[in-house]
Each structure stands twice: as C-alpha cells, then as structure tokens.
Amino acid sequence: MPAFQDMTREEQVRFFFSRLPHGVALGVELIEAGQGRILTRVPFSEFMVGNPVTGYVHGGVITALVDQTAGTAAMFASDPPETVATLDLRIDHLTVARAGQPVHAFAECYKATRHICFVRCIAYAEDRNHPIATSMGCFMKTGQLLAGGGERK
C-alpha cells in the first residue's frame, strides 16, 4: 500500500472510511470523491430498520451517513486533508427512507476559511432532487493533518 500522501484523493477517502467503526458497521461506501465534494451510499440492511411495522430505515442511520459524508467533505476541502470537529450539524428529515433501497449522501464544502468549513449535504434514495434529508454543518479544523503528519504551523 502506498503512503497516504501518495494516494489519490479517492484512495485516501477509502482508507479513512475503512477506519471509522460506525461507518464500517453501516457499510458506508464511497462512490465519488473530489476537492471538498463527497458522494456516498449505504446499502439497505435489515438491521437498519427502525420500525418493524413499516420497514422504514431508522433516522440514526441517515444522521450517521450525513455526518460522516459532510465531515469528510470538510476534511478533504484542504490539501493536504485536515481533521475536523463538528461544531454544528443541522439535519432536516423530510421523509422516510424505505426498506430495500440504498441511501445516498452528497456533501459539498461550499466555503472553507482558515479555521472553519461550511458544508451542505443531501441524503436521498433514487433522486437527489427528492431528498430524504438535508443538512447544513460547520466543522472546525483541528490543526492535525489527516495523514498523521503532525500539527500545522
């Protein structure tokens, strides 16, 4: 395996995702990674059902997917990637995620300052124009390089 700094952005994000226990448990998959833009998917699994009568996916699954996708977009808005801490994450759950369908999340860091990243995210099943949830978040850069290269100066 190449050194982190020698990996492509997509390889770096996949490497990062492989070390997030909750994301691994949910099966979060990277679809696409760009500078401050991330597209993910979580495949449907029976253990994600929050209501056995309706079969709807638990809102916590959507929240975890949105938080991981948005936070990763914030981290990879910097070059090299920098760890972040969630300052504020507002999620509006607009409708339910139905059983049997994967849920996608698209996050974009639309503004990055020296210390703060601002990210919007949409969770959806089939069509980004029909979201399950939308979110806005602020993430604070911690000063640590994601690759473990020490503190920024």
Q: Are 65 and 22 in contact (CB under 8 A)?
A: no
Residue whose token pair is 């994600």: 48
Looking at residue 101, its amino acid is Q
CATH code of domain 4-145: 3.10.129.10
Q: Per the omega criterion (within 30 degrees of 0), is the bond before 80 cis?
A: yes
- Read off the tokens for 49: 């059902």
Q: Are 105 and 43 in contact (CB under 8 A)?
A: no
Residue whose token pair is 């996708």: 69
Residues shown for the chain: 153
Residue 149 confidence (pLDDT): 46
Q: Are 120 and 111 in contact (CB under 8 A)?
A: no
Tens-level pLDDT at each residue, the chain (153 residues):
788 888 888 999 999 999 999 999 999 999 999 989 999 999 999 999 998 898 899 999 999 999 999 999 999 998 889 999 999 999 999 999 998 999 999 999 999 999 999 999 999 999 999 999 999 999 999 988 776 544 444
Measured CA distances, 139 to 14, 58, 100, 103 (Å)? 20, 25, 32, 23
Residue 21, classed as helix, strand or coil, is helix
Residues 38 and 16: their CA atoms lie apart, in Å, by 13
Q: Are 127 and 56 in contact (CB under 8 A)?
A: no
